[in-house]
Structure 1
Amino acid sequence: MTPKIKYQNLKQDYFEFNAFLAKNLRLLFASVYKNLRTYIYVYIVPIIFMLGVYMYQSFGGANKLLPPLIMGLLLIPGFGIAILLNTLISEWKASIFLKRIHVIGTSKSQFLLAIWIVGYVIGLSAILFGAIIMVTINAIYSPSGTNDFLEAFSFLSYGTFGQAFLAWAGFFLGASIVVLSSIGVATLIAGSLKSISLTQSLVILFLFFAVIFSDLFLSPSTMAGSKVTVVMSYFVPQKYGAWTTFYATSDGNINYFLSKPVSALITVSFNNIYGPIFGGLGYCTGLFVASLFLLNWNNRG
């Protein structure tokens, strides 16, 4: 085969891949946003839970949380996409939906990439919507008389343009790690297992564990009080997104998000921002690859 023919074949494969990907994206976006559970699992329940965590950590809004911790709370709606995608993929496998997609020529990589893109867009939109809701609620009800979330946004924008850019870019990267790792857990479990009830139970159990050990429900200062909890938390991929956000939004100063002096802590999870960034991206890559190899088109394998 001549180089020219090889190039033409690669070019044809590239355009065919993109054509099927675009078709899958249109189909999946339409299917997901027509489903009522999308709004319940991704927007309503996670935002209510985020509000509850904020009230718990701030003692009903009476205590002011540090700005990096406020930005960390905004990541919580990114967890909800796992429940939605797990439910949808499990139900699609039980029906002929995925089998029909496979029959028309869609590969596993095309479908998986499409579902990750759809989940990523929806997950980030949930975080944005949650931020708007929290700013609005805090403007209406604030015992301290200030809006903690607007102050956190101002804190990120303080300093030079470069510092503000890195802070917001770091928050975006942290949010992306949380959303992508949640998608990865859902596609891995729902794609590889046959039982709908089993997949739903496993995802809910994992999210319960992840929320507690991600340093978002319990503050990083509390979690750092025990080496056991810190070691266990390394198994939670969303933790890496949380710590990326903490470091990025504090300009790398650990005292901005740890309320106790560092010397009083038993252990600190990460000494700089590079650990959570590379660890989080590694988790996301591993979850995508594992999902790709273990995905079954239906519950018969």
Structure 2
Amino acid sequence: MLFKMFRTRKKTQPDQILFKKKLHNIFSFFPIFWSNFIKSFQALFFGFIFPTFLFIIISLINLIDTSYLWIIIMLPPVTLGIMSLGNTITEWKSSVFLKRIDATPISKTEFLFSLILFYTLISFMGIVWLMIVGVIYDAASGMETFSSSFNFGWFLLACLEVSFLSISIGVFIGGVAQSEGSAQGIGMAIYFPCILFSGILFPASLLDKVDALRYISYILPTKYGVFVNQYAWTGTFNLDNSFTEFSQNWIAPVIAFLWIIIFNVINKFTFKLTSVKR
């Protein structure tokens, strides 16, 4: 019996060491990413300043009802992932940063997982920051939303799905773009349809009144995670009773998850730890 336990322990010990080593590799990049993030005005701008600016502007000009302002808090991960991360990766490709990582035993999968995890944490910080801004701007509406229909589990799921998806799109942009200019162009081509037609800036009930816009929204990957966030705050996927967006609660989160898988499978082939020639 003791001999069998000893043999089992000896077999699992290398696996435990390998697992700890992989964890160490993943978290060892965090100080580097953090240093790069706080030194980059672009990252701070797209992660915190620009979403706050849009939030306040839309609030001040009363484009939408204040109860819908909580849908806009998905702006930080979408803006940070799509508009900033792709440019950051392209900058790394133009330097020796990725080449140095390629010369280490760290795998591309470990690097990408570390990058996605770090930017997910930053995205959560942006979401919390925008929630604080929202409470300061309209505390009464915010507290009413919290107490009436807010569901933290669905909200956490929405934050994870929108963050993972947006960051995966950013990695995709950084992987296929050969220059910062092309990364910005691809980013804007994806970003603006996503924030305009996915229900981030405006409630989906407004878009549903135009059939063409509603059909376009279904091909946008961010739509589904945003609708999970809508469900977390309002308790329904269908704000407009004249049209049913999703007949079952599981449809939106599952499709959002599938989009995450699709982009990460693509990233497995398009992202390389090599520098581009200038």
Is this contact kept in 2: 1:156–1:168, CA < 8 A?
Answer: no
Is this contact kept in 1: 2:134–2:142, CA < 8 A?
Answer: yes
> How far off its partner does 1:222 sit?
1.6
The correspondence of residues 146-157 of structure 1 with structure 2, limited to 5 A, is: 147-156=140-149
Is this contact kept in 2: 1:25–1:118, CA < 8 A?
Answer: yes
2:206 matched residue in structure 1: 222
**1:98-126 CA distances to partner (integer Å, 9 max, x unpaired)?**
11112122211011001101110011110
Match for 2:19 among 2, 14, 36? 14
1:241 matched residue in structure 2: 225
Match for 2:169 among 185, 200, 206? 185
> How far off its partner does 1:7 sit?
4.6
Structure 2: runs of 5+ lacking an equivalent: 1-6
Q: Identity of paired residues, percent?
A: 20
Instruction: State the one-letter code of the partner of 1:51.
Output: I
The correspondence of residues 20-35 of structure 1 with structure 2, limited to 5 A, is: 20-35=25-40
> How far off its partner does 1:285 sit?
1.9
The correspondence of residues 18-167 of structure 1 with structure 2, limited to 5 A, is: 18-56=23-61, 58-59=62-63, 64-65=65-66, 67=67, 69-82=68-81, 83-138=83-138, 147-156=140-149, 167=151
Structure 1: runs of 5+ lacking an equivalent: 140-146, 158-166
Is this contact kept in 1: 2:99–2:275, CA < 8 A?
Answer: no
**1:136-164 CA distances to partner (integer Å, 9 max, x unpaired)?**
1235xxxxxxx32232222235xxxxxxx
Alignment partners' CA distance in 1, 2:237 and 2:191 = 29
2:251 matched residue in structure 1: 275
The correspondence of residues 193-212 of structure 1 with structure 2, limited to 5 A, is: 193-212=177-196
Instruction: State the one-letter code of the partner of 2:113.
Output: L
SS of the counterpart of 2:192? helix
Closer, same or farther in 2 for the Cα pair 1:211/1:64, shift >3 Å? closer
Is this contact kept in 1: 2:55–2:69, CA < 8 A?
Answer: no
Is this contact kept in 2: 1:71–1:171, CA < 8 A?
Answer: no
**Structure-1-length-normalised TM-score:** 0.81
> How far off its partner does 1:26 sit?
2.6
> How far off its partner does 1:192 sit?
2.7
SS of the counterpart of 1:218? coil
Alignment partners' CA distance in 2, 1:3 and 1:202 = 52
4+ aligned runs moved over 4 Å, structure 1 = 2-9
Is this contact kept in 1: 2:227–2:237, CA < 8 A?
Answer: no
1:285 paired to 2:269: no
> How far off its partner does 1:202 sit?
0.5
Is this contact kept in 1: 2:26–2:114, CA < 8 A?
Answer: yes
Closer, same or farther in 2 for the Cα pair 1:9/1:72, shift >3 Å? same
Is this contact kept in 2: 1:192–1:296, CA < 8 A?
Answer: no
1:297 paired to 2:273: yes
**Structure-2-length-normalised TM-score:** 0.87
Alignment partners' CA distance in 1, 2:127 and 2:268 = 26
- Between 114-123 and 71-80, report the one with greater CA deviation: 71-80
Alignment length (residue pairs): 270
Alignment partners' CA distance in 2, 1:186 and 1:172 = 21
> How far off its partner does 1:278 sit?
0.4
Instruction: State the one-letter code of the partner of 2:155.
Output: F
Match for 2:155 among 171, 176, 179? 171
SS of the counterpart of 2:76? helix
> How far off its partner does 1:288 sit?
1.9
